[in-house]
Chains A and B, each alone.
Chain A
């Protein structure tokens, strides 16, 4: 029954938004993590979303499945590091300063991360609401003939 698929779809969405919230938390937590070299400095991380399509039909699939092209939810393809430039600040008194007196700050844009956090949390709520509505619909069907 295709209504049951809504649970899988909304569940995949909640999982993906959860990953997004995790990366936001990681980025904000490390916004001030300084380092003395460019290579070791923390870089902002962002998840890459992609639509999941139905796999080649397994044993549990319907014989007349015709919704395969519509997509079956969302998945996190991977997490990429932001390659934009790091901030080099001249702080000779800093313990982590290199020999020229510079420390490197991560390329985390805290304002952007906060906006991303709100967007992710709203999307999570929407997915939870989708699941709730599908649950109501299914419960209604169970009362058929009563």
Chain B
């Protein structure tokens, strides 16, 4: 029986991927805090999770691999639907919907969640290593 990394590592690798993508979206929001007509966006964790769970339950039906050389399309394929617009808390005269303070706190929280996912993923690897050593 071979070690399957996908099964061994669980959801944490996808979680880290999601956190990295969300960091990009939030960074873009903060950078565009002074851009007229810019609409703040965010990735919705629960809808990405639901899409991933559905993908896991129903198997890899997203892309049909008919040739051995086809590349398996993994990753956050449901990210497009999850990329939503933020509801503005107060209107601004230049139609910008970025709340810089809120985006900053979201970004910081996202960075912390990233570290949490990383810690969990790291401990998975440590568990694998100690299993291989048989200590």
Q: Which chain A residues have a beta carbon within 8 Å of chain B's beta carbons?
A: 1-3, 5-6, 9-10, 12-13, 16-17, 20, 48-51, 63-64, 66-67, 69-74, 119, 123, 126-127, 130, 133-134, 136-137, 140-141, 143-145
Contact = CB atoms under 8 A, between A and B. Distances in A.
B32 interface: yes
B104 interface: yes
B35 A144 contact: no
A9 B31 contact: yes
A2 B114 CA distance: 13
Contacts of B125: 144-145
B118 A70 contact: no
B11 interface: no
A126 B38 CA distance: 18
Interface in B72-91: 73, 75-77, 79-80, 83
Query: Nearest 4 CB-CB pairs, A to B?
Result: A13-B31, A49-B35, A6-B27, A3-B20
A145 to B, nearest CB: 5
Contacts of B71: 63
A82 to B, nearest CB: 16
A67 B28 CA distance: 11
A108 to B, nearest CB: 20
Interface of A: prevailing SS = helix
Contacts of A9: 24, 27-28, 31
The dominant DSSP class at the B interface is: helix
A116 to B, nearest CB: 10
Contact of A130 (B38, B107, B115): B107
Contact of A69 (B16, B24, B80): B80
22 contacts: A2-B20, A2-B21, A2-B24, A3-B23, A6-B23, A49-B32, A51-B32, A51-B38, A63-B71, A66-B77, A66-B79, A67-B24, A67-B79, A71-B41, A74-B31, A133-B107, A133-B108, A137-B20, A141-B16, A144-B122, A145-B122, A145-B126
Contacts of B79: 66-67
A130 B35 CA distance: 17
Given A126-B100, A137-B111, A67 B31 contact: no
